[in-house]
Structures are given as C-alpha cells and as structure tokens.
Amino acid sequence: MKKIYSFLLAACAGLSLASCMNDDMESPALDYEQASITSTTDVGTTNIKIAALKDKYASTFRQANAWLKIEEDLVFEGVVCANDRGGGLYQSILLRDIDNEAGTDQCIQLAIKNTCLYPYFKLGQRVKVNLNGLYVGCYGYVPKVGQPYLTSNGNMRLGPVLLSDIKTRVQLLGMPNPGAPELVPLEPTDAWFQANMTYKNVPMLAKVTGTFDEVSIAKKNTAAEGELDAYKGQFEPLPKVFAPLVLRDDGYGVDRTLVLRDGKTKLSFRSSTSCDFANVPLPEDERSYTGMLSFYGSEWQMQLRYFEDIYPNIEMPNYQNQ
C-alpha cells in the first residue's frame, strides 16, 4: 500500500495539470525517500528574515519586473499560509515570516514548477529556504523567489523554481501546525490600504469584507461580453459567477471589483477559471474573504485561497465550468 501511495504522490508532482483542486484527495504520510520534492537533509543555518531580505534587495523589489541571482547562503524560514489546494494560486505558495516583532510581519511567494503543491506544503508547514543559486525579485511588483524564464511572447519573466532546485534548497521543518499564529490573517483598514502600497507589505495573508460591484442593484442583470477574440459576442451567464470562461484574459483569470465595507477602498478580486469556486455565484450581500493580498500595477488585488475562505459560507454548486 505504501508503494501505491508513493506512486500517486510522485505522479501528482510530475503531471502538468491546470490546477490542483481535489480537496477530497487527502495526501498520505509521505515516504520522504521516494515521494518528497524537498530536501531530506539540512539546507543550511537560518540567517535572515523575509523582512530583512526585502530591505537588503530593496532596489530590485521596488521594480515591476526585475530579479537578481543570489550567490551566497542566505537562508530564511517561513510558514505556509496559502497554497494551491483550491486553484486560487498557481505554481506557488505563500510563506510568512515567523517570530515577528510588531510591524515586521512579512510574506513572500515561493514559485515552484509544479501544479500540485498542497500535499507537500500544507497550511501551517514550516519551511526553510536556502536562496543560493535562486533568484529574488518581482513580477507585477509582488516579491517572490523564483527563476527567470522566456515566455511564449518572447518576454523574460521571473517564473517558478525547477523541482531539481527545490529538492536541494528547500526543507520542511517538522509537521504542519493548523493552529500556527502565522495563519491568522491581517484585517487591513482603509487607512492601512492608503498608506501601505509598497513592496514591503505585499504579498500578505489578509481578510477583507465587502460586496461585489458586479452584482450591485444597477449591474447584476447586465452581462459582460468576453474581450478575447475567441469570446467576442459571447456574454457571461446569469446569475454572475466568480470566473466564467468567456470573461477570461490571457492569464486565464477573471477580475471582479470588491468594494470594501468602508466604501472607499476597492480591490481587484482575481480568480482563475479553473479554481474550485470559478462557477460559484457571486454573493450579493456582504461577505468576508481570506486570501493573498497584493497589487498589480496601481491596483490592490486579492486572490482567494479556497472556497471555504468565503464567510458566511455558501453552498458549492454541482455543475461544470461554463
């Protein structure tokens, strides 16, 4: 039986799937010699925090699309506070600083070339990363650890780290702690949003409360038209859902507008068309949403982690993506 489990996990690590969304697939106890995608030996002595890392390379993190290669043993630790279980994040996890003093709490994305990460990086899992040979930088002003790659459009971007490098530079520490304090999200106020649009404060695990502009009384019965050539002349289904396929952009995502409770702050609420809540109807009433807070360009952006991070909870519909 252990061999079967190990085989399934290895297959999960190697397949290129659109997302890793099967919440019912509980990952078995890992046979680290056969199935782990991370190092089974110590990757080095922790010598820097995420906040200090952002300060050290501030000139790179301030740019929209820049990176640099680390050529020394800089080792940090973080706790997984978001992963790809719900399909909200793609080929990445969110790591949060540990043992913080007030005002120094920081997160960073770790991009990994794999589409089924959550069996290995569960919420509350402590992780150690040796940056030697890896790259730090930004895409869309969001700090991340990754490796540069050439896109199909001929542009260079900071993308995911290859599994061969994860195997030698990333280490799991102990077992996941579902009660870890790092899993408690920030609940930013309007004043916080006005003062903190900098690389130092994103990405961040956050909880926000508001309503969607697209289902306001004036707009809820007006369907939007697809903008990509393949969907010109097609309109989103009603009632509106989080991420209908006809509204997707080149990044296979759909942006909605979440108006926060104070009425002053608006967030771009981005969802993948392959996430597990893509066809969930947009709530018309006020709800709370927990996920990765960042910004893209000059707009705040929220990406929900999982369907369960909508509160009060709503029922998951039983139908296929439209």
Which SS3 state, helix, strand or coil, does residue 54 take? Answer: helix
Of 250, 254, 255, 247, give the one whose Cα is nearest residue 231.
247
What pLDDT is stored for residue 9 in this prediction? 40
pLDDT at 317: 63
Question: What is the value of pTM for the model shown?
Answer: 0.86
Buried b (16+ CB within 10 A) or exposed e, 148-176: eeeeeeeeeebbbbeeebbeebbbbeeeb
Residue 267: count of CB within 10 angstroms of its CB:
22
pLDDT for the residue 316:
66
Q: How far apart are CA 134 and CA 132, in angstroms?
A: 6
pLDDT in tens, 125-149: 999 999 999 999 998 889 999 999 9
Residue 102's pLDDT is what? 53
* Per-residue pLDDT, 127: 98
**CA 242 – CA 129 distance, rounded (Å):** 34
Q: Going from the N-terminus, what domains does the chain have, and what CATH number goes with each?
A: 2-182 (2.40.50), 190-311 (2.40.50)
- 3 state SS of 177: coil
255-273 pLDDT, tens digit per residue, is: 999 999 988 899 999 999 9
Environment class of 28 (CB within 10 Å of its CB; exposed 0-12, middle 13-18, buried 19+): middle
User: In this structure, what token pair is assigned to residue 206?
Assistant: 């956050």
At 22 the pLDDT is 40
Residue 7, Cα to own-chain centre: how many angstroms? 27
What is the per-residue pLDDT for 215? Answer: 98
* Mean pLDDT in order along the chain per 10 residues (322 residues): 40 42 40 70 97 95 94 97 94 90 78 95 97 95 94 90 97 96 92 88 94 97 96 96 96 96 92 95 96 90 94 71 42
Residue with tokens 């030996």: 41
Report the first-to-last Cα separation within the chain, whole angstroms: 38
- Predicted confidence at residue 318, as pLDDT, reads 61
